[in-house]
Structure 1
């Protein structure tokens, strides 16, 4: 027996109208060292759904307007952290920022994060950032023989450093820090957050070593507690609190 086919009525088809589009101006900071040593601003006008993201707008520019526009992105779901940039003067992830949430009636400014050398357009040199991350030894360090079973940990012990496990290394916190802007030798909030994650891990045995690394003149004592880092974190990590806990551990040697 044949299966009846249901056809959409005209009224139903009309109800499925395309999403409402608005005209938005993207004002992007452009820099190409092969052309000029000066950065410039360039405007692009887009027809876009306000529920789309800034990353979608950048894709439209690159695919439909100017293929030379350069920026980083990967997962597009706020996990990889590669598309951190300054949007309307604030560090954000382009893939998590909706057009409707940043006043699309005015030009949306997009520029690279601060404190790191710009390589081209919105792409910065992340090597100093990752070197600071490597310097705090962001991995579990234990002594003695390798265990024959999983290292167990209580829920309470795990909760002690749970917040700082959320870091996605986007550099939004570090590149929002005034101290880092003025002195690139400062470890920066992200490195301290990742040190915190292991210093307070009950399974780790190198807490003292990490604390001595952060006790350096370019370590935690450079923090001025401006809370820029906490405000900038797209994962909601209490960055300033973590830095204060590392400072307290340095003073009390309790962690």
Structure 2
């Protein structure tokens, strides 16, 4: 199959010296056409300072409108465009072409491979079924729970108490950590790193009163003890959350029953 290319518009030659030619090698899957996935190459001229998401947009809007992927904010906040890029889980909107495709000597480029995140059912092209992931998130009760009457004033919290769970408030539910976990690949029943991170955020919140309930949920056979501390999740997190550390803190809280 010939590689589709993006023709330069008329008058584009001037000022185009900064562009590089990059091959996007994308894993395609359409269940309405075939039950087998395949790879398709797209070649396009692109500014190396642009992002992988920009390249995907060019392909979808100007070469092949059937290419399917998720994206929303395009600024690394919504987490919807997590995908496997050059063998690593990344956000397409935060990954620059120059960082992964341009050779170090500046002379030429190497292909960019793009495929869906692992461990989840692929629905079409780069889109996976996120429902099991979000169900695990819902199962850990990711909201503030208190008992008794509503207070007459705000629930105060010291800076030190807030700092206790500051790292795990950064989660954007992109699933990059969970889909990088080999335990999750082999057993989809495992809660996964993202669910544990979001449980951690409330377990260690001094205003919350349901830490024991969450700890019991994570004490299940598919809970926190399935973690094998491979650090894949920490390496994959685009927000820099120390995911493995958070999981270990939840394990310690289960053992000591102290939060």
How would you bin the TM-score normalised by the shorter chain? over 0.9
Q: For residues 19 and 210 of structure 1, what CA distance do their matches in structure 2 show?
A: 57
Written as runs of structure 1 = structure 2, the 5 A alignment for 1:69-108 is 69-104=67-102, 105-108=109-112
Written as runs of structure 1 = structure 2, the 5 A alignment for 1:142-157 is 142-157=146-161
Query: CA offset at residue 17 of structure 1?
Result: 4.1
Aligned residue for 1:198?
202
Query: CA offset at residue 147 of structure 1?
Result: 1.2
Q: Does 1:135 align with 2:139?
A: yes
Aligned residue for 2:66?
68
Q: Does 1:124 align with 2:122?
A: no
Query: CA offset at residue 103 of structure 1?
Result: 2.7
Q: For residues 15 and 39 of structure 2, what CA distance do their matches in structure 1 show?
A: 36
Residue 176 of structure 2: which of 169, 172, 178 is its match?
172
Cα-to-partner distance string for 1:150-187 (whole Å, 9 max, x where unaligned): 11100000000000000000000000000000000000
What 5-or-longer segments of structure 1 have no aligned partner?
A: 1-15
Query: CA offset at residue 193 of structure 1?
Result: 0.1
Aligned residue for 2:36?
38
Alignment check: 8 A CA contact 2:29 2:38 kept? yes
Q: Does 1:112 align with 2:127?
A: no
Written as runs of structure 1 = structure 2, the 5 A alignment for 1:53-64 is 53-64=51-62
Alignment check: 8 A CA contact 2:229 2:244 kept? yes
Question: What RMSD, in angstroms, separates the aligned Cα atoms of the two structures?
Answer: 1.0
Which of these two proteins has the greater Rg computed from alpha carbons?
A: 1
Alignment check: 8 A CA contact 1:19 1:49 kept? no
Q: For residues 33 and 80 of structure 2, what CA distance do their matches in structure 1 show?
A: 25
Alignment check: 8 A CA contact 1:173 1:229 kept? yes
What 5-or-longer segments of structure 2 have no aligned partner?
A: 1-13, 103-108
Query: CA offset at residue 57 of structure 1?
Result: 0.2
Aligned residue for 1:20?
18
211 and 122 in structure 1: CA distance in 2 versus 1, 3 angstrom threshold = same
Query: CA offset at residue 229 of structure 1?
Result: 0.1
Q: For residues 46 and 180 of structure 1, what CA distance do their matches in structure 2 show?
A: 35
Report SS of the residue matched to 2:53: helix
95 and 103 in structure 1: CA distance in 2 versus 1, 3 angstrom threshold = same
Q: TM-score, normalised by structure 1?
A: 0.93
Q: TM-score, normalised by structure 2?
A: 0.91
Report SS of the residue matched to 1:198: helix
Query: CA offset at residue 140 of structure 1?
Result: 0.1
Q: For residues 110 and 89 of structure 2, what CA distance do their matches in structure 1 show?
A: 18
Alignment check: 8 A CA contact 1:29 1:110 kept? yes
Query: CA offset at residue 46 of structure 1?
Result: 0.6
